[in-house]
Amino acid sequence: MSSPSISASPPRHGPGVAVGVTEAMIGDLVHGFYATVRTDPALGPIFNRIIGDQWDAHLAKLCDFWSSVMLMTGRFRGSPMVAHSKIPEIAPAHFVRWLHLFRQSAERLCPPQAAALFVAKSEMIAQSLQYGITAARGELPPLTGATRS
């Protein structure tokens, strides 16, 4: 009698697989996008002050982040909400600018379906971060329509 075979875990397949996202594409987008961010008049000063001379490590972490989001590799270890909520000057206008530059970079560097997915994910992430920052700052508006019992 033979023992039952133990199969390996199936490979992870994130949403990016279906649209051709690769690790190389993620690296190109992350490096290309943040090259633009570093020189942007609105975003550059904030990023450069916070990241300082640690850009190589930060870009590697961002590649891990996007790999985890798009390919479900599970490589990212970090807490973006905590990191971003500690930056007092972040305002909604910064997110608008970041998203605009990210869209431009994705559309320039990625095939159309991959760019669209990167942009959709970035918009969801930005919305979540903005909400989290607002909550961390105690700036949430009061709930409306609540009833008392």
Q: What pLDDT shows up at residue 130?
A: 92
Confidence of residue 22 (pLDDT cuts 50, 70, 90): very high
User: Do residues 117 and 15 touch, judged by C-beta distance below 8 A?
Assistant: yes
Residue 107 CA, chain-centre distance (Å), reads: 16
**What pTM did the predictor assign?**
0.84
Average pLDDT of 34-43? 98
Average pLDDT of 91-112? 97
CA gap 52, 42 in Å, rounded: 16
Nearest to 94 by CA among 146, 65, 133, 53: 133
Of all residues in the chain, the percent with pLDDT exceeding 70 is 87
Q: What pLDDT shows up at residue 9?
A: 47
82-86, 103-107, 128-132: least confidently modelled range: 82-86
| For residue 97, pLDDT beyond 80 | yes
The residue with tokens 């000063």 is: 45
| For residue 55, pLDDT beyond 90 | yes
